[in-house]
Amino acid sequence: MSSPTPSRAELVERAAKLAPLLRSRAQWIDEHRRLPEDVITAIEESGLLRLQVPNQYGGYESDFRTHLDVLAEIARGNTSVAFCLSIYASLTWMTAFWPDAALDEVFATPNVRVTGTTAATGAATRVDGGYRLNGRWKFNSGVLHAHWKITAAVPDDPESQQIPIFAVVPVTELEIVDDWFTTGLEGSGSVTTVATDVFVPDHRVISGADFYQNISLSAVNGPKPIYTVPMLVSATVIQTGQLVGAARQALSGFLERLPGRPITYTDYTSQQDAPVTHLQVGEAALLIEDAEARARRFADRVDAKVASGEPWTQDERVSSRVQIGWIAKQAKQAVEILAQASGGSSIYRDVPIARLQRDIHAASLHGMITPAVNIELYGRTLCGLEPNTTYL
């Protein structure tokens, strides 16, 4: 079932062609807190859902730089869509650790979409042939359009030592709680899911130890170099594209609105002529250029590690956390500058800058992205201390 992988340029072009549709549907997406069917159809037809599908199931197993560039273009259309696609890519990549019997089930669905969370906020009870899950999980981005969900739960067996298990569960077997009422990334539909005595067979369950140590139980995927990347590094690098793309779109959108706009209560009949505007645009552009350059170096470095086959050090894992934290900080600063320079009319819902500001703020609050936490982690290790987290 393997198929030739399209070039990076071709995949980026496909993403860019989607952007006009995504921009035209932005208000609907925010108001309905989900993605519309025409957007889902267009994404399916683009083939971009296959970026991290294993090659033996007709996927591309694209490199991480391709993810960065593709998701940056999607974010220029709509950040909620980019966030969903980044989650689908990350979680689809993670499924490679499951046994081939589970993968045969997951990838039997064309254009399959896998979502999930790694927070073990549920309980797992051992039963004959598998586990029964009970629990409640928040922040399930993209689950409204997903087929499968990776769910973490702590076994109630005293011998489990509180090490969670990770289960692949059909979304249809979970209850959806419509509680995603937010001021950012509204269209990601990151609602809560609930499991009530959901049975998961053994072949769709792996241990947390295997999950976090990248031990693949797939005979086909196990030997592939792309799956030697630490799980949290892969998730981190995939997430950077949406941050860069949102900031780039904020700048281009600002410049499109600029000609002929006066600065109210001043003598400037055109904001384009005002030195304060030049300073704002210049600073925002430099922040975006730096963020994009850092993101590309980060992705290229991960791809180079895949190619070399060298083991990952603790310092490299820490570095991945600080990369996305610093990229988020720069992108957010750039968008804030442009939002402040956009005037009172920019708060209308049909003006994109306010949406971009809300979305990039929401994205920067993600537990794996939050700048201050990641920068502190980096500084801590530079000072010779051990990391204060196992999430590396």
Q: For 64-116, how does the pLDDT look when each residue is reduced to its tens digit (9 = 90+)?
A: 999 999 999 999 999 999 999 999 999 999 999 999 999 999 999 999 999 99
CA 300, chain centre distance (Å)? 18
Q: Are 152 and 166 in contact (CB under 8 A)?
A: yes
For residue 243, give the CATH number of its domain. Answer: 1.20.140.10
Residues 174 and 248 in one domain: no
Q: Name the residue among 97, 96, 72 with its Cα closest to residue 86.
A: 72
Q: For 237-289, how does the pLDDT look when each residue is reduced to its tens digit (9 = 90+)?
A: 999 999 999 999 999 999 999 988 888 889 888 899 999 999 999 999 999 99
For residue 245, what are the contacts with CB-CB under 8 A and spacing of at least 6? 71, 72, 73, 74, 75, 76, 79, 82
Residues 203 and 296 in one domain: no
Residues 39 and 62 in one domain: yes
For residue 179, give the CATH number of its domain. Answer: 2.40.110.10
Residues 237 and 370 in one domain: yes
Last residue within a domain, chosen from 56, 74, 106: 106
Indicate the number of domains in the chain: 3
Where does the chain have alpha helices with state H? Answer: 8-24, 26-32, 37-46, 64-77, 79-94, 100-106, 208-212, 231-257, 275-308, 314-340, 352-364, 371-382
- Supply 136's token pair: 């409640």
For residue 86, give the CATH number of its domain. Answer: 1.10.540.10
CA 209, chain centre distance (Å)? 23
Residue 391, SS3 per DSSP? coil
* DSSP class per residue in 75-90: HHH-HHHHHHHHHHHH
Domain of residue 48: give its range.
8-106
Q: For 287-342, how does the pLDDT look when each residue is reduced to its tens digit (9 = 90+)?
A: 999 999 999 999 999 999 999 999 999 999 999 999 999 999 999 999 999 999 99
Last residue within a domain, chosen from 77, 106, 135: 106
Q: For 201-239, how does the pLDDT look when each residue is reduced to its tens digit (9 = 90+)?
A: 999 999 998 988 888 999 999 999 999 999 999 999 999
Main-chain phi, psi angles of 58, to 5 degrees: 85, 15
69 in a domain, yes or no?
yes
189 in a domain, yes or no?
yes
Against a cut of 0.75, is the pTM above it? yes
For residue 369, what are the contacts with CB-CB under 8 A and spacing of at least 6? 239, 243, 324, 325, 328, 363
